[in-house]
Structures are given as structure tokens and as C-alpha cells.
């Protein structure tokens, strides 16, 4: 009779032949390092040998389970609208994308949301952000905004007093901010804005020239601590028709000018600093190196498209320091899948038919036959034994 051992559930067994502890260790190692190296570390510490293919397969299966957990949670939030937890006084919101190579030779963008708590300026006037957390997916912008509900709701974004959205100004990012906190203080990353100012200066003074460095130092200082309108006016003067510029240089200046002008409300850095807001997106930029690039963009790495989100989700889980919580959810799904995949035991009949009595083995060799019996009346006794028979031969020689 086939079936499921009742101890599978009691012992919290997972699919495969590894113990739960070894399986968890295998996956965790695969989240931090290449699979080839992870199997070596597993063998060194636990003296358990598995193949690189199994390490990859089990890690990606666990990641897919975590994606399913978070997808179900996001759907529940949209349908049930549970009460949002308490927020913080000042919260950082940063969204950006990083590209990951696929086995097909293409590159795909993994979007990452970064959230943190903005601290008051220190003695030097520098604003720090603490308690960072991340959410990453390879999804279209509108889907990503819905999927990220699991993190924005968890961090209390809805009830935070002030949310500072520090970004590179991309349109899809502004749509994300509109979806989650339309009243957020939108700040264009200062270094991003300074790059556009520098690009205009290169077109006129040349890159790396003393004239450019003197001009850019003045504009950068004005942009950060002064009046951004003065910087915009300076760029307008660079592109005056009477100036001797090539058409390419004029286009470069106009591109920088238009980009900054349309984001005028996002570059008032003196005002932002006075309010205690950060003006740089260092936290968001660093998250790409820490969360995505450190594991998914190693030398020669190529990923199947279906495996990008599982690995990204696991990287979020471990970088958010939520491994114990997340692994419990993953293990529950893996056990459920394991139980449903096994054949169910056949039910016993209510009135079982008794088994027939066992047949005792024969003591005689196979094919043995008894010789036919001779009637006693045909037997000879005494001297008759030695008398000749009908064929003339004595009965006994």
C-alpha cells in the first residue's frame, strides 16, 4: 500500500533527501554566492555533497515559493485593505533599476524599491538614513507598483508624516510615487542634476579644461546652496543664438536645460536641506550593488528569465534580515507541494476479506512421482521367488 508517512509532517520534512537543516543551509548559501562555490562550502561545513545543479534548482524553487507568498500578500492587501501600521516622521523612498544579463544574450531590468528612516542632521549638517529595506522585481512599472505594496504597507508608508522620494526623475518612477504617496516631497538626486549642468559646461568649455572646472564649481555651489533659477539662467545664456557654438553643443545645452527646467520643483536643494531632507540618492544607488549586483551580476553570469524574480526575492529576504520569517513561509509551501505530489494511500475496505491460509512448502523435489503400487496377490513368496516366470526368466537373479 502506497501512501505518505505520518512522520513527514511531524518532522517538517522538505522535498528531496536532505534534512530540513541541510536544505535550508544549501539555499542560504546559494543566495549569497555562486552555486559552484555554495556546494563547496556546504561540503566543508556539513560534510554533505550535492551537485551544482541541485543547488541551483533548490534555491530557485525556494525563491519561487517566496515570490508566491508575497504575491498572495499583495493581493490580500488590495482586496481586504487592512489597517496600515504606524509610520515614521520622515521616510525615504527611492526607486531605480539595474540590468541583469539573460541566457538569451538580452538584458532585463530589475526594479528595486528602497525604504528607510531619515534621521535628523548630525553636527556637520549631514542627513543619514537608517533601517533600510528593499523590494525587487523584474516587472513592468505598473505591476511593480502593485507588487511593492507588501513592503510599503509593512514599513507604514501610508501613515508616515513626510515621505521624501529621491530619484533620478524618470517618468515611470514618478508614476510609482503617485501610486503610493502622491504627496511625497520629490527630490531629484543632486548628483544627477549636477551631471546635467556639467554636460552643458562641457559643450562650451570642453571637458577637463581649467575654464570648465572654474565655471562648474560656481554652478554646483549655486545649485546646492543657492538659487536654482540662477543656474537655469546661466544655462540659457550659454545657448544664446549669437554665441559661437556648434549645433551639437547647442542641442546638448538645450537637453540639459529642458530636463532641469521641467523638474524645477525637484532641485530646490537649499530649501530641502533646511527642512532636514536628504538631497542625494546614495542609499538607492548602493542598494543595486548590495542587493542585486552582488549576486546576479557576477562575471559571466547569465540567468533564465524565470529565475530572476526568485533570486531577487531571496536577495531581498536576506538583505532585509528577515531570513527566519521568510524561510518558515517558504518551507510551509514546499512541504505542502511535497505532500500534494505524493500518491495518496488507498482506503481500507470496511469489511476486509481474510487472507487465505498459507500453503506449506512440499518436502519432495519438484516433479517427483510415486511408482504404481503392486497388488500383494501378484507377489511371490518363499521358493516361488526362484521359479521361472512366463518369459522364462527367473524372478530373481
pLDDT in tens, 162-213: 999 999 989 999 999 999 999 999 999 999 999 999 999 999 999 999 999 9
For the chain, what is the mean pLDDT?
88
Mean pLDDT of 240-258: 87
Say yes or no: 106 and 151 in one domain.
yes
Of 134-138, 285-289, 365-369, minimum mean pLDDT range: 365-369
Task: Judge whether 335 lies within some domain.
Answer: no
Residue with cell 537543516: 21
Say yes or no: 182 and 200 in one domain.
no
pLDDT at position 239 is: 81
Q: Output the domain CATH number for residue 176.
A: 3.30.420
Say yes or no: 95 and 176 in one domain.
yes
115, β-bridge pairs: 93, 133
Counting the structural domains of the chain, the total is 2
Look at residue 163 and give its three-state secondary structure.
strand
Task: Judge whether 306 lies within some domain.
Answer: no
Say yes or no: 94 and 185 in one domain.
yes
Last residue of a domain, one of 254, 284, 314: 284
Residues of the chain with pLDDT > 70, as a percent, come to 80
Task: Judge whether 134 lies within some domain.
Answer: yes
Say yes or no: 96 and 178 in one domain.
yes
Say yes or no: 234 and 157 in one domain.
no
Say yes or no: 164 and 204 in one domain.
no
Question: What is the maximum alpha-carbon separation in the chain?
Answer: 159
Task: Judge whether 313 lies within some domain.
Answer: no
Task: Judge whether 323 lies within some domain.
Answer: no
Rounded-to-integer distance, Cα 395 and Cα 397, Å: 7
pLDDT band at 244 (very low <50, low <70, confident <90, very high): confident
Domain encompassing residue 250: 192-266
Task: Judge whether 322 lies within some domain.
Answer: no
Say yes or no: 207 and 235 in one domain.
yes
DSSP string, 230-257: HHHHHHHHHT-TTS---HHHHHHHHHHH
Residue with cell 513527514: 8
Last residue of a domain, one of 284, 314, 331: 284
Say yes or no: 179 and 197 in one domain.
no
Say yes or no: 106 and 150 in one domain.
yes
Rounded to the nearest 10 degrees, what angle do helices 323-341 and 52-80 cross at?
A: 100
Rounded-to-integer distance, Cα 146 and Cα 153, Å: 11
Say yes or no: 171 and 215 in one domain.
no
Helix (H) or strand (E) run with residue 304 in it: none
Last residue of a domain, one of 252, 284, 316: 284
Decide: 136 and 112 in contact? Cβ < 8 Å: yes
Judged against a pLDDT cut of 90, whether residue 355 lies above it is answered with: no
Mean pLDDT of 320-346: 84
Say yes or no: 201 and 247 in one domain.
yes
Task: Judge whether 338 lies within some domain.
Answer: no
Task: Judge whether 56 lies within some domain.
Answer: no
User: How far is CA 241 from each of CA 235, 244, 247, rounded to the nearest angstrom?
Assistant: 13, 8, 10
For residue 176, which phi and psi values (nearest 5 degrees)?
-65, -45
Amino acid at each position: 500500500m502506497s501512501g505518505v508517512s505520518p512522520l513527514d509532517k511531524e518532522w517538517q520534512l522538505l522535498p528531496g533527501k536532505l534534512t530540513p537543516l541541510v536544505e535550508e543551509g544549501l539555499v542560504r548559501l546559494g543566495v549569497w554566492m555562486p552555486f559552484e562555490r555554495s556546494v563547496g562550502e556546504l561540503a566543508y561545513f556539513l560534510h554533505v555533497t550535492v551537485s551544482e545543479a541541485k543547488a541551483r534548482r533548490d534555491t530557485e524553487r525556494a525563491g519561487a515559493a517566496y515570490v508566491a507568498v508575497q504575491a498572495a500578500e499583495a493581493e490580500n492587501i488590495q482586496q481586504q485593505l487592512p489597517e496600515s501600521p504606524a509610520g515614521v516622521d520622515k521616510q525615504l523612498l527611492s526607486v531605480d533599476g539595474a540590468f541583469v544579463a539573460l541566457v538569451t544574450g538580452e538584458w532585463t531590468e530589475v526594479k528595486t524599491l528602497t525604504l528607510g528612516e531619515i534621521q535628523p542632521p548630525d553636527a556637520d549638517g549631514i542627513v543619514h538614513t537608517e533601517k533600510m529595506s528593499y523590494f525587487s522585481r523584474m516587472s513592468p512599472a505598473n505591476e511593480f507598483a502593485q507588487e511593492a505594496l507588501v513592503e510599503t504597507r509593512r514599513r507604514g508608508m501610508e501613515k508616515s508624516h513626510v515621505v521624501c522620494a529621491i530619484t533620478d526623475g524618470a517618468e515611470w518612477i514618478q508614476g510609482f510615487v503617485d501610486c503610493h504617496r502622491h504627496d511625497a516631497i520629490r527630490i531629484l538626486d543632486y548628483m544627477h542634476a549636477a551631471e546635467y549642468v556639467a554636460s552643458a559646461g562641457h559643450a562650451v568649455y570642453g571637458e577637463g579644461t581649467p575654464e570648465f572646472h572654474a565655471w562648474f564649481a560656481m554652478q554646483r555651489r549655486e545649485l546646492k546652496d543657492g538659487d536654482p533659477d540662477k543656474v537655469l539662467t546661466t544655462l540659457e545664456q550659454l545657448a544664446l543664438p549669437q554665441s559661437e557654438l556648434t549645433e551639437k553643443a547647442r542641442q546638448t545645452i538645450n537637453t540639459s536645460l529642458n530636463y532641469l527646467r521641467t523638474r524645477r520643483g525637484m532641485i530646490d536643494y537649499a530649501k530641502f536641506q533646511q527642512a532636514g531632507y536628504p538631497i542625494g540618492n546614495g542609499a538607492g544607488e548602493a542598494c543595486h550593488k548590495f542587493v542585486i549586483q552582488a549576486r546576479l551580476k557576477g562575471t559571466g553570469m547569465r540567468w533564465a528569465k524565470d529565475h530572476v524574480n526568485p533570486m531577487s526575492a531571496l536577495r531581498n529576504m536576506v538583505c532585509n534580515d528577515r531570513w527566519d520569517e521568510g524561510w518558515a513561509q517558504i518551507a510551509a509551501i514546499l512541504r505542502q507541494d511535497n505532500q500534494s505530489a505524493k500518491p495518496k494511500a488507498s482506503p481500507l475496505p470496511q469489511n476486509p476479506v481474510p487472507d487465505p491460509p498459507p500453503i506449506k512448502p512440499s518436502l519432495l523435489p519438484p516433479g517427483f512421482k510415486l511408482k504404481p503400487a503392486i497388488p500383494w496377490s501378484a507377489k511371490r513368496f518363499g521358493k516361488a521367488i526362484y521359479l521361472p516366470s512366463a518369459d522364462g526368466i527367473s524372478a530373481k537373479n
